Chain A
Amino acid sequence: MPRTTLTQKLAILADAAKYDASCASSGTSGRNSLGRDGLGSAGASGICHAYAPDGRCISLLKVLLTNFCIFDCRYCINRSSSNVQRARFKPDELIRLTLAFYKRNYIEGLFLSSGIIRSPNYTMEQMIEVARRLREQYRFRGYIHLKSIAEADPELIKQAGYYADRLSVNIELPTEKGLTQLAPEKSSQTIHQAMSDIRISIDDVKDQRKQTWQVKVPRPVRVRKPKFAPGGQSTQMIVGADGANDEAILSTSVKLYSDYRLRRVYYSAFSPIPDSSADLPPVKPPLIREHRLYQADWLYRFYGFETQDILSGGDQGMLDLDIDPKLAWALKHREWFPVDVNSADKETLLRVPGLGVRSVLKILQARRQSRLRLEDVQHLTVSIKKVMPFIVAVGWSPGSLTDHQKLRQQFAPPPEQQTLF
């Protein structure tokens, strides 16, 4: 077999990594290299250095260390039974590539994942080695996201957290049943355990760092423990590969957010792969469903909605695909409306369709200066059309518009105009 070139390896191992939705490089500790050796900086806000024609942000060099894998997860392009071409980076090759990309300002850092070779521990050690050398040998202060292997020794995951900004363990499927069916080598218990271990390490190190700071030690003697995964923990759930409905997905997310304090749950529409398994035929990716799940996720995290509120806008455990989940909820709870923008509290304003968190804050500020008319609200929102039927302002009352039977049709796109998201 001819040797694969580095460029060919890159093509194979990036192709193998693209089904992981996350490319975030935000929310980590602020740092830079000025006055020190090495290179790199990071901070609260990430940077998308390019966008692919799928509309997704390219922030990190997102690759697998290898796409050889001893597991046979049916949904996965790299499963052992797939005939996809295989490759493996030497740590040195990947390190050089990361630095060369970084210096040309193509990326914020590295998102490293891997197929499982030999054993979960061996694989995890290889990944940690890449991160360790980037940090220690090259003093790289850019962003590193390590996909942790749930089956690896907890001690290894602990090591990983000192080099990585973010750790993630993929929950893969929303239900245990789905996991047993489609990823027979994985166990939901092991995945949850790994997430719990990461949360404990994050919390412990945070506490210890706080204590070192509070104890009164003369400044030169203070040695602060290094940070542990300052960008937190995230996970990914595949949507549409098993039969789980939106209720199962959102309930799982809520549990993950509260039990392991995840920064993000990523939803990844099950997408066709080059050599699909006979057990799981390819389908068009349910992109609109994925989009609605993200919106629902935001309502839960930033708008004070409970899962049951969100689901009540849909039907039988599924969200409404045609309109966004907040509007769907509002149309079924018209007794909440209209809301007076000049007197309603923040929580109530956040429930108004078309009003985002920023618009609400602007309204709260602006109405301290003067009573708001509809035109004023229009300047503070993205689209007044969606907001109008649900609010009262000076000189404006929606009258019977709030109860208008046809309100849903007005906002739902006619079927033929619907395009792939």
Chain B
Amino acid sequence: MITATLNSETDFNGWRQAARKLAGHAIEPGQIEWRTPESTPSLFSHDRTLVSIEQDPLQQAQITVPREFLRLACRVAHHRDHERFSRLYRLLMRLQLAPKLLKNQAASDVRWLFKCEKEIRRDVHKMHAFVRFRKLGEREDGREQYAAWFEPSHRILELGAPFFKNRFPNMDWAIATPDGTAVWDGAELRYLQAGDVRDVPDHDEIEEQWKTYYASIFNPARLKVSAMLSEMPKKYWKNLPEARLIPELITSATNRSNDMLDRAPGPANKLAGHLEKIRSRSDSNST
């Protein structure tokens, strides 16, 4: 067995360098243990290190992959699948024999790669959707400062944060997650250690208006909870201020809807008749 040690849970560059050497010496996937700070070391004995491989006098083979593989692998490194690095390596090896393998989504490793990438993409998308900033205050020069607490499913902070830099470059903001914190100060987007929900304010004065909007835009005659849940699963609710209204909106929906259906039409607003008169007068004036 050979141990390849990576610097972090999402150390794609480390994996890439190690994988290039290992594949260059045709080391079988089963011969490598990929170790990250959080992984539990296996019980098997390790007779070789990466350094010993490098010193191997044999000529190292050139490793090539489709550009698409690099793009996908670099994203899938952020997945929480424990076997992500070993499966990526297995794919790397298979690609040496079958360069067009990625075109075949019926193959199980390829399917795994695309499935993970899709989950990453969805997670990043949900981060862009469900981060809720709360205002911390303003700097002396009037620049606004915001913070948010978010719990992504995968380790996607660095994939998701640049979006906010492009959208809100002129305010300071921080997004704290259990894996790390992204901080933007107008000059640099930095990634710091894991955050804590208590670092973020527990309310914002605009939230009442946002909740009013959320409740008012809902149409009780079209209640369809399953459609809501498939796009906004419950795991996100605790960090969404508007989600607190959901149970009550659901319970009252049927009654509200029936009220509208049962109520007999009342007398017309008198304004309408008045308007009718004005209109007919202006029509006859203009013709």
* B104 in the interface (beta carbon within 8 A): yes
* B97 in the interface (beta carbon within 8 A): no
Closest B residue by C-beta to A369:
B104
Closest A residue by C-beta to B270:
A81
Using A52-B214, A53-B249, A272-B261 as known contacts, say yes or no to A7 and B208 having CB atoms under 8 A apart. Answer: yes
Closest B residue by C-beta to A72:
B272
Q: Is the CB of B253 within 8 A of A369?
A: no
Annotate A351-384 by CB proximity to B: 1 below 8 A, 0 otherwise: 0000000000010011011101001100110000
* A3 in the interface (beta carbon within 8 A): no
**Segment of B28-36, B45-53, B70-78, B166-174 in the binding face:** B166-174
* B132: contacting residue among A10, A104, A271, CB under 8 A: A104
Query: SS class of chain B's interface: helix, strand, loop or mixed?
Result: helix
Q: Is the CB of B132 within 8 A of A7?
A: no
Annotate B128-166 by CB proximity to A: 1 below 8 A, 0 otherwise: 111111110000000010101000000000000001111
Annotate B117-131 by CB proximity to A: 1 below 8 A, 0 otherwise: 000000001001111
- Give 26 pairs: A residue, B residue, CB < 8 Å, sorted on A: A10-B212, A10-B213, A17-B217, A18-B216, A32-B166, A36-B169, A39-B170, A50-B130, A50-B242, A52-B218, A52-B249, A53-B225, A53-B228, A54-B223, A57-B231, A58-B214, A63-B213, A70-B279, A275-B263, A276-B263, A283-B261, A365-B103, A365-B104, A379-B106, A379-B111, A421-B224
Q: Is the CB of B167 within 8 A of A40?
A: yes
Q: Is the CB of B129 within 8 A of A278?
A: no
Closest A residue by C-beta to B226:
A55
Sorted from nearest, which 3 A-B pairs have the closest CB atoms? A55-B227, A81-B272, A32-B166
Q: Is the CB of A53 within 8 A of B224?
A: yes
Q: Tell me, in angstroms, the Cα distance from A257 to B129 when the chains sit together.
A: 30
Closest B residue by C-beta to A49:
B129
* B232 in the interface (beta carbon within 8 A): yes
Using A7-B208, A282-B260 as known contacts, say yes or no to A276 and B222 having CB atoms under 8 A apart. Answer: no
Q: Tell me, in angstroms, the Cα distance from A387 to B270 when the chains sit together.
A: 58
- Separation in Å of the B169 CB from the closest CB of chain A? 5
- Chain B residues bordering chain A, tally (CB within 8 A): 72
* B100 in the interface (beta carbon within 8 A): yes
- Separation in Å of the B216 CB from the closest CB of chain A? 4
Q: Is the CB of A10 within 8 A of B209?
A: yes
Using A105-B131, A271-B222, A281-B265 as known contacts, say yes or no to A80 and B271 having CB atoms under 8 A apart. Answer: yes
- Separation in Å of the B149 CB from the closest CB of chain A? 12
Annotate B89-112 by CB proximity to A: 1 below 8 A, 0 otherwise: 000000000001101111000010
Q: Is the CB of B106 within 8 A of A380?
A: yes
Closest B residue by C-beta to A278:
B265
Given contact pairs A7-B208, A51-B231, A275-B266, enumerate 5 new A-B contacts (beta carbons under 8 Å).
Answer: A39-B171, A52-B217, A80-B269, A104-B210, A105-B148
Using A34-B166, A55-B227 as known contacts, say yes or no to A7 and B212 having CB atoms under 8 A apart. Answer: yes
Query: Which of B132, B165, B167 neighbours the largest number of chain A CB atoms within 10 Å of its CB?
Result: B167
* A41 in the interface (beta carbon within 8 A): yes
* B228: contacting residue among A41, A52, A81, A287, CB under 8 A: A52
* B221: contacting residue among A79, A100, A284, CB under 8 A: A284
Closest B residue by C-beta to A48:
B129
Residues of A within 8 A of B163 (CB): 41
Residues of B within 8 A of A294 (CB): none
Q: Tell me, in angstroms, the Cα distance from A277 to B260 when the chains sit together.
A: 12
Using A49-B130, A53-B224, A53-B225 as known contacts, say yes or no to A10 and B216 having CB atoms under 8 A apart. Answer: yes
- Separation in Å of the B151 CB from the closest CB of chain A? 15
Q: Is the CB of A15 within 8 A of B103?
A: no
* B246 in the interface (beta carbon within 8 A): yes
* A200 in the interface (beta carbon within 8 A): no
Residues of B within 8 A of A81 (CB): 268-269, 271-272
- Separation in Å of the B11 CB from the closest CB of chain A? 27
* B219 in the interface (beta carbon within 8 A): yes
Residues of A within 8 A of B131 (CB): 105
